[in-house]
Structure 1
Amino acid sequence: MFEIRVICDPADTDRVSDALSQAFTVGPVRQHPTRDGKALRLYVTADHHSNTGPWPDPETAYALAPNIISEIGWTAQTAADKPFGTRLPRDFWLRKAAVLDRIALKDEADGFPGDAAEIATEAAERLMDLDDAAVICDPRHYVRQQYAHWTKHQ
């Protein structure tokens, strides 16, 4: 994520804003006049576009996923099989984040307030850190996108 500042003629602000949104994923554009009042300063938080496609809904993302109990077992066994201090592969972190997201989704649908959503978000953020993913999104949406992509290529 990065910040962009543009100084432009007030008549060009819409054109500049449109160009920025086509080139990057952007937040709201903040406008401030220059000190002389003849131009505008535009500030926008931006990030590179994700090139892996749109955010799938949970049903689409997890359509090919094994049942939750099976995934918990796979995650626990994979972690147990690795010697302490050994780096676990990306697939482990993706599947772990996905199963935690699925548990949180089930709890949310059942109306159970708890910490499942927080734990799922933390696991998703871990995956984003591992991927060095510099995208502006809900971390759990990122997991769903990556999981859907991963299952289609397995």
Structure 2
Amino acid sequence: MKIERSIGNPAAAYAGAPDFDIELAWLQECTRTQGFELSREFWLRRAAFLDRLALREAESHGVEATAALIRFAESAASGLVVYDTAHHGLSPKGSDLVAGEDHRAYVREQYRAARLA
């Protein structure tokens, strides 16, 4: 899978995204719901939320100060890649999805596509 770098642009991907408070409330409600299954929507929205949060904090406080949050966002993005590999035939073995930042770009691409669908 080839990531289109223009789509991986955070401003384009997250234009019109819900406020952080609304998204956090949705994520918390999902995980509190008995019998909740971790759906693709959950993995995507969680990864996008953490990516957006890491971007915001890095802009405010610098990359070095937010390194742990950035790694957490990369881990969440990797979770979406793992989910899509298992359920949707994504193959991250190619050179396009080898690093955490590539996974975050994938999240942005998928978030934008889901919003436009």
Question: Is 1:139 aligned with 2:93?
Answer: no
- Identical aligned pairs, as a percentage? 33
Residue of structure 1 in register with 2:59 after alignment: 109
Picking from 38, 45, 53, the partner of 1:95 is 45
Q: How many residues align?
A: 101
The letter of the residue matching 1:105 is L
TM-score by length of 2: 0.79
Q: Using CA pairs below 8 Å that are at least 6 residues apart, which structure has the higher relative contact order?
A: 2
Alignment partner, residue 13 of structure 2: 61
Do 1:64 and 1:151's aligned partners in 2 also have CA atoms closer than 8 Å? no
Q: Report SS of the residue matched to 1:142.
A: helix
Q: RMSD between aligned alpha carbons?
A: 1.5
Letter in 1 for 2:70: A
- Residue pairs, 1:5-154, within 5 angstroms: 49-50=1-2, 54-55=4-5, 56=7, 57-83=9-35, 86-112=36-62, 113-114=65-66, 115-132=68-85, 133-135=90-92, 136-137=96-97, 138-153=102-117
Q: When you count helix as a share of all residues, which structure comes out higher?
A: 2
- Distance in structure 2 (CA, Å) of the matches to 1:82 and 1:89: 14
**In structure 2, what is the equivalent of residue 38 of structure 1?**
none
Query: Which blocks of at least 5 consecutive residues in structure 2 are unaligned?
Result: none
- 1:18-66: CA deviation from partner (whole Å, max 9, x where unpaired): xxxxxxxxxxxxxxxxxxxxxxxxxxxxxxx43xx62321010000210
Amino acid aligned to 1:143:
V
Look up the equivalent residue of 1:123 and give its one-letter code.
A
Matched to 1:71, the amino acid is E
| AA partner of residue 62 (structure 1) | Y
Say which structure is richer in strand. 1
The gaps in structure 1 that reach 5 residues or longer are 1-48
Which of structures 1 and 2 has the bigger CA Rg? 1
